[in-house]
Structure 1
Amino acid sequence: MRKTKVFSGSSHPELAALIIDKLGVGAAPATVKRFPNRETSIEIGTSVRDQDVFIIQSGSATINDHIMELMIMINACKTSSASRVTAVIPYFPYGKQSKQKKTRGAITAKLIANMLATAGVDHIITMDLHSSVIQGFFDRPVDNLLAEPSIAKYIKEHIPDYTDGVIVAKNAGGAKRVTSLADRLKIGFAMIQKEHQISSNESSEKSTVVGDVKGKVCFIVDDIIDGPGSFLKAANVLAEHEAKRIYIIATHGILSNDSLDIIEQSPAVHKIIVTNTYPLTQEKKEKSTKLEIIDISGVLVEAIRRTHNGESISYLFDNAM
């Protein structure tokens, strides 16, 4: 790739290394320093004048430090006369805060978009935004890639009896994502529905399954898994309805605190499958016997290559790389 520089932020070096290795360009040098007062300083170690620059930086457990690091790196490249700066953000931070939930709440995802624009970013490449409205927060191109083709490929290659399976939404909000994956795999779908019951002046909530799951392989699908609570509730309901085997699948495996330990102890869950958009520590990965990770670096590599060459990326919405 001619006249291109690819930089790695420090949030997800493992994924950045995979992308840079597949691109075959070598990582452009940049030095990140943190002062005792936690301020960040970045020095770009090569000329970027008139270059097409890509900066790989995902959301992470130290989210605010890494957001600031990305802003500084973008600005450093722009003020050093880069022709274009593309931020490759596999997991877009603050994506869940894309609307005002309380009277005096902030739309933080829009704030992040404004900060990126002010830093000087020209283009965003991300994956499975929590809400599609986030694309509208930018006045510059945003390519929202899909993990669905890679997830579908993994299911086909690693779960032989998936054809006797059902894609399950743990609530009504996930119905669109679930039906899309079900259509791609040509299998059925179901949904967990909550029913409020009132008896003897007491209110209770009961979960039921809309769809046939008895004796079937069930895949509970969502874009993000942070805490496991809602996933495990759905898994327990499916187990009560005699599901054959239950998988949890999510694009962004944040899995905060002891989430993996809790899933490990759940008899209802057979496996948890996530992509590598979000960095997980080696300790977390080694502690779990149920965790499977799908590598989506190939999709990001192809998006970068096509962006650099001015080609359409629509092919990536239907095909795994």
Structure 2
Amino acid sequence: MVESVLISLDGREDLANSVIENINLNKKLGKTVSLDYVNSQKFSDGELCVDFQNSIRGKRVYLLSSPNTSDEIIKLNLAIDAAKRAAAKEIIPILPYFPYARQDKKDQSRGPIGAKVMVEMIEQRGATGVITFDLHADQIQGFFNIPVTHLEGKNVFDGYVASIYDEDTILCGPDAGSGKRVKRMKDQLGKFHDISINYVMLDKTRKQANVIDEMVIIGDVKGKNVIILDDMVDTAGTLCKAAEVLMEAGAKSVRAIISHGVLSGPAFERIGESVLSEVIISDSLRKADALELCLKDYAETKCIKIKNGCSKIKQVSLARQISLAVSAINSHSSYEGLKKERF
């Protein structure tokens, strides 16, 4: 039987420990997985180097990383290469946040397809499979020639939606492309929580990146507690504008559930001054880093809007879903089957 080891690459020890705990404490998830570490070095010119602390020969190696910077992308690829040269039997990156996923097609006539570039880098270095979470576009899975275990937001956030649900609660898709996401959550709530919930959609036109021209609501939100479902919040301009439009149309409250909290630039300040009651994100990215920057900005500026933005953001962990995916691979069983057990 192949021994499995989980290695955190870029400061995700908190998530790695939670995944290990989920697997090792639940006998239904099969054999245990050990936690190991990688040594990394950055030279004075910025060049990176990595090596594994212990032997990984013949092992199934899971590399946990959320590479949203160029250095982290390079570090991931160096680690895959190092694992291959150290004779690992299998190399499976766990990427809760997949970099360049927004570039899933050519948006300009002479532009790249960034997601495809990332896939080819990972595959060519020697990855034998990948686990990822809530891709910006489902079709990115088709870029891969290796097995992809794609974790969906509905399995992470449905419990939270169920916990706050009342008869006035409805879901909201923030754009035309979010229909599948909203429908999946609706079906999930009906199947596992016996909740019948309606939804509305927003139709928006965008003049340029991060700038919305117009939003139109398809459906009635008057007197409703609206939950916006989306895959990513970056500068939060679109999200805050959507909340404003919904409240102006008579919504009782608006909150958002977002898979990936990128939270860059003015995001915290915008959320802080917005009509949003709260923003729920996963831990696909390191919220601690974003909050640290946020609180630093607040200390320097004393801007109450930034502080309010920090207080509105809450986090739900991916540890359980990742542990199910890892266990399914280790036991050669069905990930879908493990999900259905709901333990």
TM-score normalised by length of structure 1: 0.90
The equivalent residue for 2:7 is 7
The equivalent residue for 2:156 is 150
Checking the alignment, whether the CA contact within 8 Å between 2:6 and 2:16 is kept in structure 1 is: no
> Would you say 1:166 and 2:176 are equivalent positions?
no
- Which of 170, 177, 180 aligns to 1:176? It is 180
- Which of 322, 325, 340 aligns to 1:300? It is 322
The equivalent residue for 2:231 is 223
Task: Determine the C-alpha separation between the residues in 1 that align with 2:239 and 2:152.
Answer: 21
User: Structure 1: where are the runs of 5+ without partners?
Assistant: 197-203
The equivalent residue for 1:199 is none
Task: Determine the C-alpha separation between the residues in 1 that align with 2:76 and 2:283.
Answer: 19
User: Structure 2: where are the runs of 5+ without partners?
Assistant: 25-32, 190-195, 207-211, 296-306
> Would you say 1:80 and 2:86 are equivalent positions?
yes
Deviation digits for residues 210-267 of structure 1 (CA, Å, limit 9, x no counterpart): 112111110111111112111111111111111011001110111112302210111x
Task: Determine the C-alpha separation between the residues in 2 that align with 1:134 and 1:76.
Answer: 26
Checking the alignment, whether the CA contact within 8 Å between 2:93 and 2:127 is kept in structure 1 is: yes
Letter in 2 for 1:208: V
Offset at residue 194 of structure 1 (A):
4.4
Offset at residue 160 of structure 1 (A):
4.4
Offset at residue 306 of structure 1 (A):
1.3
How is 1:105-116 mapped onto 2 (pairs within 5 angstroms)? Answer: 105-116=111-122
The equivalent residue for 1:271 is 278
Distance 1:319 1:35, change over 3 A: farther
Checking the alignment, whether the CA contact within 8 Å between 2:60 and 2:90 is kept in structure 1 is: yes
Distance 1:190 1:137, change over 3 A: same
Task: Determine the C-alpha separation between the residues in 1 that align with 2:216 and 2:341.
Answer: 34
Letter in 2 for 1:85: I
Partner SS for 1:247: strand
Task: Determine the C-alpha separation between the residues in 2 that align with 1:195 and 1:42.
Answer: 45
Q: Which has the higher helix share?
A: 2
Offset at residue 320 of structure 1 (A):
5.8
- Which of 201, 213, 222 aligns to 2:221? It is 213
The equivalent residue for 2:70 is 64
Distance 1:262 1:225, change over 3 A: same
Partner SS for 1:27: strand
Q: How many residues get paired?
A: 309
The equivalent residue for 1:246 is 254
Letter in 2 for 1:20: I
Deviation digits for residues 265-300 of structure 1 (CA, Å, limit 9, x no counterpart): 11x211111111111224268741111111111110
The equivalent residue for 2:40 is 32
Checking the alignment, whether the CA contact within 8 Å between 2:226 and 2:251 is kept in structure 1 is: yes
The equivalent residue for 2:302 is none
> Would you say 1:283 and 2:289 are equivalent positions?
no
Checking the alignment, whether the CA contact within 8 Å between 2:324 and 2:339 is kept in structure 1 is: no
Offset at residue 156 of structure 1 (A):
1.2
The equivalent residue for 2:266 is 258
Offset at residue 318 of structure 1 (A):
5.6
**CA-atom RMSD in angstroms:** 2.2
Checking the alignment, whether the CA contact within 8 Å between 1:74 and 1:119 is kept in structure 2 is: yes
Distance 1:26 1:70, change over 3 A: same
Letter in 2 for 1:184: Q
Letter in 1 for 2:87: S
Letter in 2 for 1:308: N
Task: Determine the C-alpha separation between the residues in 2 that align with 1:221 and 1:105.
Answer: 29
Offset at residue 13 of structure 1 (A):
3.2
TM-score normalised by length of structure 2: 0.84
